[in-house]
């Protein structure tokens, strides 16, 4: 008689909420101006234990931590094209019908969307990409623009 081995599901982390995202930037003051002026964030007091140039901003419970690079020449090159399939931060608003993508001053992609209109449907556990929503009502329209540029390109496409 051997020992009985029971397989148990691993314990899960308690429910969490996203607190903040952080970006390494060329200029904290330039990025603060952008996030306050364009996206409506408010600067908040930063922890005094940090011994580097940074800033904390807050909007609707989401924080952005901006860290000034000590070697800005080593930062990744700014991207010129918008690609919604790349890493980005998305902000939800109720007063837009289209989804808007643009870059911040350091080339980080920002999305403004009306994502609240999309249904939230839990899926059974399955391999990533095996279950997708496909409905004509779920198609989004996108606007791609470049900010801080002399030219503005605003094509609208249905996906």
What are the φ and ψ backbone dihedral angles of 88, each rounded to 5 degrees? -160, 165
Q: Is 73 an active-site residue?
A: no
Average pLDDT over residues 142-155: 47
Spatial separation of the C-alpha atoms in residues 129 and 98, rounded to whole Å: 25
Single pTM value for the model: 0.68
Give CA–CA dist 42/57, Å, rounded. Answer: 5
Least confident span in 6-15, 84-93, 94-103, 149-158: 149-158
Average pLDDT in the chain? 78
Can you tell me the mean pLDDT for 81-103?
Answer: 88
100/91 Cα distance (integer angstroms): 10
* C-beta atoms surrounding 78 within 10 Å: 13
- Residue whose C-alpha is closest to residue 131's, from 140, 118, 122: 122
Give the start-to-end residue ranges of the domains of the chain.
Answer: 19-70, 78-119+136-159
pLDDT the model gives residue 44: 94
pLDDT digits (tens, 9 = 90+) for 93-124: 888 788 889 999 999 999 998 887 777 788 88
Of the chain, the percentage scoring pLDDT greater than 90 comes to 36
Residue 73: the pLDDT is 86
Q: Is 81 helix (H, G, I), strand (E, B) or coil?
A: coil
- Could you report the per-residue pLDDT of 11-38, keeping only the tens digit for each? 777 888 888 999 999 999 999 999 999 9
| CATH T-level assignment (fold) for domain 19-70 | 2,3-Dihydroxybiphenyl 1,2-Dioxygenase; domain 1 (3.10.180)
CA quadruple 151, 155, 156, 158: dihedral sign: negative
Which pLDDT does position 144 carry in this prediction?
A: 57
The pLDDT of residue 30 is 95
Task: Provide the 10 A C-beta neighbour count for residue 88.
Answer: 15
Which one is catalytic: 4, 71, 97, 111? 111
Query: For the CA atoms of the chain, what is the radius of gyration?
Result: 20
> Tens digits of per-residue pLDDT, 36-65?
999 999 999 977 777 788 999 999 999 999
Alpha helix positions (H), 4-150: 28-37
């Amino acid at each position: 008689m051997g020992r009985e081995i029971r397989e148990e599901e691993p314990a899960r982390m308690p429910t969490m909420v996203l607190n903040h995202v952080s970006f390494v930037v060329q200029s904290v003051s330039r990025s603060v101006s952008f996030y306050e002026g364009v996206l409506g964030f408010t600067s908040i007091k930063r922890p005094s234990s940090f011994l580097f140039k940074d800033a904390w901003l807050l909007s609707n419970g989401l924080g952005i931590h901006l860290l000034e690079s000590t070697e800005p020449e080593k930062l990744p090159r700014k991207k010129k094209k918008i690609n919604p399939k790349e890493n980005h931060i998305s902000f939800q608003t109720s007063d837009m019908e289209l989804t808007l993508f643009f870059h911040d001053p350091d080339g980080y992609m920002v999305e403004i969307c009306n994502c609240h209109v999309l249904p939230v449907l839990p899926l059974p556990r399955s391999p990533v990409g095996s279950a997708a929503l496909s409905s004509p009502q779920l198609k989004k329209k996108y606007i791609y623009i470049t900010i801080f540029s002399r030219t503005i390109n605003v094509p609208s496409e249905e996906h």
